[in-house]
Amino acid sequence: MDAYLIDAVRTPVGRRGGGLASVHPADLAGHVIIAVLQRTGVDPAAVDDVVLGCVDTLGPQAGDIARTAWLAAGLPEEVPGVTVDRQCGSSQQALHFAAQAVASGTADLVVAGGVQNMSAVPIGAAMTVGEQFGFRTPFTGSVGWEKRYGGEEISQFRAAELIAHRWNLSRLDMEAYALRSHHRALAAIDGGLFERELVPLGDCAVDEGPRRDTSAARMARLPALTEGGRVTAATASQISDGASAVLVASGRGVRSHGLTPRARVHHLSARGADPVLMLTAPIPATAYALNRAGLRIDDIDLFEINEAFASVVLAWLAETGADPERVNVHGGAIALGHPLGATGTKLCATLLNALEQRGGRYGLQVMCEGGGQANVTILERL
């Protein structure tokens, strides 16, 4: 059985302390949920489940934010919700769970998406709060973990630096890539290419991250994140706030509700790799997905790989042989921001629109994730 994408929406991405900073995460997520239901004309009571991704689920993001967001939006109490944490790939995994549910015949309509207010709940807050209970890291005290990985520092920043060295990526290489991300994002904004996916909220009507005044010279003046390192804030994703949602339907759901799908989920999978190197899993995950889907890299018209760090994308490009002109054509998280739990379905919305704008058939989306994991979704535009 098939899983169809009916529509996909997202808020503009707000900078830390920007236009979305004061919005409660439940209201952020509720905003996009209502938008995707209104745009598709689906009766909310017909939805079988709500699956949202979120990281650092404490404070306003605790207590199953998927359920809270649905109820805060004034939607029917009989519809349940569940929150997923696969780190940066949380909402992409939410999409996978939704697609699996409808493809299995156990559901006909599922809202999938994600939310993150990083201004309100800082990145890594769920880990640092553990210190008051005596856990310096999530791995502290695990005999099995320490036997396998010892006292290795587990950090995305260290991982990004290790990747830069292993693939011989210079600071200049990464800054050139970052500058291109800003240029592409600004061109997409100015060309109205995000308009179909955006649902403005309050005064936040456009992505706040891209910097018109950035330049190679400005980037060159920034200090490295680690002493003697190559990675800087300019070549890393931005801390951001935002939400995104998609409506996933079965064939029966499409027929019974008179829906017009925009795409079909052609393939979905997730793979793991070295958790210390952490951010390299998109490389084997892409190879695995293409093999399972019976496709070659050249069969893919457009790619979205999350720009957690420039080194991640550049290493992936080097190993996969993907055409850089098909990758993140509207910019990425270095320019547009990375609201952790929301980014997966945010990228899905952008990929879907870009495929339609360019007349492509297949789009591949992949995310690096904490723990050394990666989700891959291949969409077929209809």
CA-CA distance, 299 to 266, in Å (whole number)? Answer: 13
Cα dihedral 264/374/319/297 (nearest 10): -10
Tokens representing 284 are: 């084997």
Strand partners, 109: 249
Q: Does the annotation count 330 as an active-site position? A: no
Stretch (H or E) spanning 116 = strand 109-117
Cβ atoms of 246 and 111 closer than 8 Å: yes
Considering the candidates 54, 182, 338, 348, report the single residue annotated as catalytic: 338
- How far is the CA of 331 from the CAs of 111, 160, 200, 212, 347, in angstroms? 26, 19, 19, 13, 11
Rounded to the nearest 10°, the torsion over CA 265, 266, 269, 273 is -120
Rounded distance between C-alpha atoms, residue 134 and residue 149, angstroms: 20
Distance CA 137, CA 145 (A): 12
Task: Decide if 348 is catalytic.
Answer: no
Q: Is 338 a catalytic residue?
A: yes
Catalytic residue among 54, 88, 204, 348: 88
The CA-based dihedral angle spanning residues 246, 252, 255, 259, taken in that order and rounded to the nearest 10 degrees: 0
| 219-236 as b/e: b if 16+ CB within 10 A | beeeeebeeebbbbebbb
Handedness of CA 207, 88, 263, 97 (dihedral sign): negative
Provide the CA 253 distance to its chain's centre, in angstroms: 26
What one-letter code names the amino acid at 66? A
Q: How far apart are CA 367 and CA 380, in angstroms?
A: 18
- List the catalytic residues: 88, 338, 368
